[in-house]
Amino acid sequence: MIALAPTDTVRGRATVWIEALHDELTALFTTLDAGGTFVEDRWTREGGGGGVTRVLTDGTTFERGGINRSVVGGALPPDAARRLGGRVPVGGDCEFFATGVSLVVHPRSPMVPTLHLNVRYFEVTDADGAPLDSWFGGGTDLTPFYPHEADVRHFHRALRATCDRHHPSLYPRFKPWCDRYFTNVHRGGEARGVGGIFFDHVRPGADESRLDVDGLFAFAGAVARSPVTTYAPIVDRRRDEPYGDRERRFQLERRGRYVEFNLVHDRGTSFGLQTNGRAESILMSLPPLAAWRYDARYEPGTFESALEAMLTPREWAAGE
């Protein structure tokens, strides 16, 4: 592991914070699964750092769930630096430090949507350790397989409420960012799901919210804890709803699009694979089973076409 930073530094504080969020999320999703347990793997990364991956396989509610935390750092490869988008000197040697927690759960039932969540703290320093840049990033988004519009409205409204407690500018800025980010460009701009929020390079005191380090820890922590209000009620409401082979089949095909996004477009996945990350931990976001069907098209009036229509970004939190 990376030498532990003292907790009076921001990176030290971030490390402890991520550990606590990881444990809270594990407890929440163990309860939510109502049967399965997470198995833990601790790993170290060649080049610096390591992490703790917790995976639930063949659970009661979740066909697979993964919750990963990591603290990584070391030399920042030029390619990765270029894509990172922070204030990073061109061509200069620099180092990075990153700690974060990420979660993806793939429910068994197509009536229950998939949830993704991530929060992270990132620092870039020069080769002598002098700070060049630091920021928070993260987000959470929903991928339904059945067109329960009420669930999507619930998710977005609860998420907006969470954000609004920290600053009224957050949801209105980070909701469209999420819509732009989780897009399968190669599929004509089709969204991965119905969105949520996404943010990156949010620097203490530097954005519209003017949240300082304490404020950003509080906000990003609230995002990490948001499934309690955004997602758990949906799981409870839908987990016992009946479904058939057709719904399962469609879920597997939508999961195929999820795989496409994660492997072709997701910056976190690319960054991890490029920086010698642990493939099993990075790719735990992939579903346990996914399908591809050539040129699938659905008649108007079917639940499949209704679901596809929901993928066009909309103001789901409006009108409450």
Q: Which residues bind a second copy (CB under 8 A)?
A: 41, 55, 57, 64, 66, 185-188, 252, 256, 259-260, 263-264, 273, 279-280, 282-284, 286-295
Work out whether the CA dihedral 197, 202, 207, 210 comes out positive or negative: positive
Rounded to whole angstroms, how far apart are CA atoms 30 and 19? 17
Residue whose structure tokens are 């948001």:
226
In the bound state with a second copy, the residue whose beta carbon lies nearer, of 81 and 197, is 81
Minimum distance from CB of 38 to a second copy (Å)? 11
Residue 69 falls in which region: left (phi positive, over 0), alpha (psi -120 to 50) or beta:
beta
Question: Is 138:224 a contact under the CB 8 Å cutoff?
Answer: yes
In the bound state with a second copy, the residue whose beta carbon lies nearer, of 46 and 320, is 46
Q: How many CB atoms lie within 10 A of CB 186?
A: 11
Catalytic, 116? Answer yes
In the bound state with a second copy, the residue whose beta carbon lies nearer, of 46 and 299, is 46
Minimum distance from CB of 248 to a second copy (Å)? 12
Contacts of residue 27, defined as CB under 8 A and 6 or more positions apart, other chains included, come to none
In the bound state with a second copy, the residue whose beta carbon lies nearer, of 144 and 287, is 287
Rounded to whole angstroms, how far apart are CA atoms 146 and 243? 10
Minimum distance from CB of 50 to a second copy (Å)? 15
Minimum distance from CB of 269 to a second copy (Å)? 8
Question: Is 200:119 a contact under the CB 8 Å cutoff?
Answer: no
Question: Which member of 116, 148, 154, 166 is catalytic?
Answer: 116
| Catalytic positions | 116
